[in-house]
Structure 1
């Protein structure tokens, strides 16, 4: 009887161990500083074949934290001691605390075989929390900046969009916000999208109105937790000038997946590579040609490593000149990058110019794309082959060009243009050359006569007195004076035609001409000169207009109404300051 009882107890013990469920949650530590990340680890162990979770982990209320990252992994093994299947599911959650003090973290729930299991709640102590905004000393209760990044979990070198908002109780403060300075840090690359101010939203947080003052892209170039530094802006008024600073934002930057090609560097996005010869003439040995590698697409285009031309004994290659046409897109910087190489062929015959292998990571498909090498096939000729391949007309043109480049006097000998008789003499060519020579000779005589008359006028004219410094400066200004109305008409035409790139280039040219009238080369010196000549209000208006021009120039979207208002402001100011 006693042996039967022991046998029954062993059976119950094996059944219990066979169907055991363990669920628990823990944090990496009990106390945290304000800058620390709270890491929660949730572990679910299932000992048995018939155990299967019916629901996912049901998290507790985490509204006092900001979830900046999460991940999970499932492991399966066989316990050699009990010969049972053990399934272990581990999840980790990274939290950023919003407030200080003791915070209770509730239970995690999961349903296994129609039975609910939960973890024990526990407390974490947050000593201090960095404020989400840094306020100017004298307007701290009225105004602050806030940097908002919605997507805080990205891959390395993948962009995320940051929006900078200014909050204020007084709507008059919005027009005082100027000189937004984007963050700079070694582990991030920042590219502006727009500095155009949005419409004022009266329904902001804390009964404060808000306005977007800047939008920019952040490209983190290292994995892990990356802090985006604060953005600063100045708040200017007639009495004083203050500086306000935004909050910092922490990003959870995921490392790129394993299995990248050996020659993968840092290209993240979607790209294509093309290589072509920009020189239109025949390729000659020991003569340079222009070979261009064009990388187009969308992603971290301005910051990635471009494929280079591979060295070869068949040609000599020099460092490229990099040019770009890039603008903000939906998933990164979009456009084209050109690497212009100077290549000198070393031998005649077929030449194969190859680029380095190129690969990129596509975040949309989460896969690496291998574009391999690009090859440009060329055929180089020797100097003798080039000469033999030329037609008679090309040889005559080259001979004529050489003659015109080496002649030092406008009086040309007619024998130079004599056509050697082969089978037939071309009288039309000879008569044409004679007419050209007679015309050049008449022009030469007229030029000499004009020079003599000009010399006589100079001799009879009495020299003018030097005059004072003020008179000399006035004369210089008269020589430098430009009709500003011509610029206004030209700018109006460019605006109506939608040629905004030429519009802003003309604005810079007009600004330079007006500065020359004041004998000032730099904008800062010109603003100081305006303040002394026209007053501080005009100088401040010039500074504000210059900043507005720069913001409109680099804005990806330009409206006809905005350009019309900008042109009116330009005409209003420059018509007053132009001499």
Structure 2
């Protein structure tokens, strides 16, 4: 009998330990001055992998407070037991709420509720004591957030860059993430180019014990000398109630005038540059036929804003306005990379002539001197049409005629352009006879096909003996037929966000996720992660996992804001557009 009782007790203990729910809420203290913030921490811990949260955490009545901040995060870990068979999987959800009291005296904070496996769990209520509360008007969150533009090097030459750093400061770290829509300065006497718009980590020990964060780094190029004032940077602070604007300080620069003695060809290039001129055509240049000439300026400095050297006019050729291509990125002393100006040039006369650019010079602020690169020249020989024909061998003429014919009669049945041949510098009789035979065969096939089309004009075309293709091709066709129109889901999710129906928002997201997984024949999210890592890359798989975790946190968070839903929707559109390509 004793053994049965002991066995029953151990069985009951094992059942209790297998699935446990620990829900608690606690304040940072119980006695507050009137100007202090009440910080509540809610912790939900699920011990065991058989527990399912079926509702959000339901908060008590907090109408005696102003809510000024909230945040949630989750973590999972394995709690080791006496041996490996007793290890337990633990999920922990933590929510922090910052409250501003509206009245003094003893205030009772009720229970927090949550539904786990069809059972309601709740915390014990408790009391806190608030001393005198100062009567004040509704506070504006923007008054607690400050923008500061920092420029260390305030003395530069004209068109020489200086680095500006934009920081945001606030006593409440939660306010930092609400700063959005940063607008960099825009003024005629400066050129501004962003270096980085990625936010840095939050520094909790900034100026005057305020938390700070770098919002943007950008380059300022003053294009006139004297005292130049960099205008303020503006941003917006988005809250639940309204949207406020904040602006930074202004910074005055002492812009030095460039030294005298500049070359006549100097315009506004400041930095270190190189100029090249070339053309990529391997064929002979023919009179009255266009060819491309590219002028490339490379280096580092005010590359994105400088005046490019042009191709000079000449009685030997006609030149047209260029197409500009820019490949520029931030460097240490300015914008670096290269800018290509692609010109169309048409020779007017046969013979030798020179294509040349305007003279180009720049000022190097490191050496404090001008460098004149002069003109860049390129020798060209233009041939008449007869000379071009005479210079071609018999094989080249046949190849040219064959290629022209293939381009002209390209048909949907036989992709004849794939038979085009390249020019050969030496006579190859094998290639010659193959081309002639191919040419005659194609003529016979072409007229045969046309005759067949006339006979079958009324009869519908049937696909006889169609190649079934490989397994991968068949799977791709099936996937294309099952492809989900994610744009419809995006529009519906946007409407649900705007209407505030967040429960329907998460339900629709689950439907979208299921449809996309079905498109790739993946039933579970774990299998889909493996598929994404193999087919789309590890970064896409990690983004998918992060988004799923973010969805779960927000789905069961007691407080859901429009900003957080908007951020989730942005991530959903970006990720699922990439996955469903």
TM-score (structure 2 length as normaliser):
0.55
3-state SS, counterpart of residue 285 of structure 2: coil
1:483 corresponds to? 483
Q: C-alpha separation between the residues in 1 aligned to 2:332 and 2:358?
A: 28
Residue 407 of structure 1, CA deviation: 5.3
Query: Take 1:453 and 1:444, find their aligned partners in 2: how far apart are those partners?
Result: 15
Equivalences for 1:208-219 in 2 at 5 Å? Answer: 208-219=210-221
Offset at residue 278 of structure 1 (A): 2.7
Deviation string, structure 1 residues 249-280 (Cα, Å, up to 9, x no partner): 00000000111111210000000000001323
Query: What is residue 376 of structure 2 aligned with on the other side?
Result: 374
Q: 1:363 to 1:432 in 2, by over 3 A?
A: closer
Say yes or no: does 1:240 pair with 2:223: no
Q: Distance in 2 between matches of 1:167 and 1:388?
A: 76
Match of 1:269?
A: 271
Q: Which residue does the alignment assign to 1:187? A: 189
Q: CA deviation at 1:139?
A: 2.5
Aligned match for 2:292, one of 290, 293, 300: 290
Describe the shift of the 1:198–1:408 C-alpha distance in structure 2 as closer, same or farther (beyond 3 A): closer
Q: How does 1:108-507 map to 2 (within 5 A)?
A: 138-405=140-407, 436=442, 454=460, 483=483
Taking the aligned partners of 1:273 and 1:172, their CA distance within structure 2 comes to 51
Measured in 1, the distance between the counterparts of 2:256 and 2:401 equals 66
Highest CA radius of gyration, 1 or 2?
1
The structure-2 alpha-carbon separation of the partners of 1:384 and 1:206, relative to structure 1 and needing over 3 Å to count, comes to same
Kindly provide the CA deviation profile for residues 483-540 of structure 1, in whole angstroms up to 9, marking residues without a partner as x. 36xxxxxxxxxxxxxxxxxxxxxxxxxxxx744x47x9xxxx898556468957969x
- Which consecutive residues of structure 1, in runs of 5 or more, have no partner in the other structure? 1-135, 413-422, 458-478, 485-512, 543-559
Q: Distance in 1 between matches of 2:292 and 2:231?
A: 42
Instruction: Tell me the distance in 2 between the aligned counterparts of 1:137 and 1:562.
Output: 42
**Which residue number in structure 1 is paired with residue 114 of structure 2?**
none
Task: Give unpaired runs (5+ residues) of structure 2.
Answer: 1-137, 415-428, 464-478, 510-536, 549-570
2:308, 2:339 → 1: CA distance? 9
How far off its partner does 1:282 sit? Answer: 1.0
Change (3 A) 1:432 1:152: closer
Residue number in structure 1 paired with 2:69: none
Shift of 1:243: 1.4
Contact 2:294 2:343 in 1 (8 A): yes
Relative distance call for 1:438 and 1:372 in structure 2 (3 A) is closer
1:398 CA drift (Å): 2.1
Whether contact under 8 Å (2:328, 2:336) holds in the other structure is yes
**2:182 touches 2:236 (CA, 8 Å); kept in 1?**
yes
The alpha carbon displacement at 1:241 in A equals: 1.5
**Distance of 2:188 and 2:502 partners within structure 1:** 39
Q: Please state whether the residue corresponding to 1:268 is helix, strand or coil.
A: strand
CA distance in 2 between counterparts of 1:364 and 1:291 reads 32
**Equivalent position SS for 1:303:** coil
TM-superposed CA distance for 1:239, in Å, is 2.4
In the aligned structure 1, how far is the partner of 2:540 from the partner of 2:367? 40
Q: CA deviation at 1:397?
A: 1.6
What's the Cα RMSD here?
A: 4.1
Note if contact 1:166-1:213 (Cα within 8 Å) is conserved in structure 2.
Answer: yes
| 2-structure distance, mates of 1:576, 1:427 | 54
Partners of 2:333 and 2:434 in 1: CA distance: 66
Q: In the alignment, is the contact (CA less than 8 A) between 2:318 and 2:345 conserved in 1?
A: yes
Whether the aligned pair in 2 keeps the contact of 1:410 and 1:444 (CA below 8 Å) is no
Is the CA contact 1:226–1:251 (under 8 Å) kept in the aligned structure 2? yes
Residues in 2 aligned to 1:364 and 1:533: alpha-carbon distance in whole angstroms: 58
Q: Distance in 2 between matches of 1:301 and 1:526?
A: 45
Q: Which residue of structure 1 aligns with residue 21 of structure 2?
A: none
Which whole-Å CA distance do the structure 2 matches of 1:404 and 1:167 have between them? 68
The answer to whether the 8 A contact 2:195-2:218 is kept is yes
Q: Distance in 2 between matches of 1:563 and 1:242?
A: 35
Distance change >3 Å, CA 372–CA 139, structure 1 → 2: same
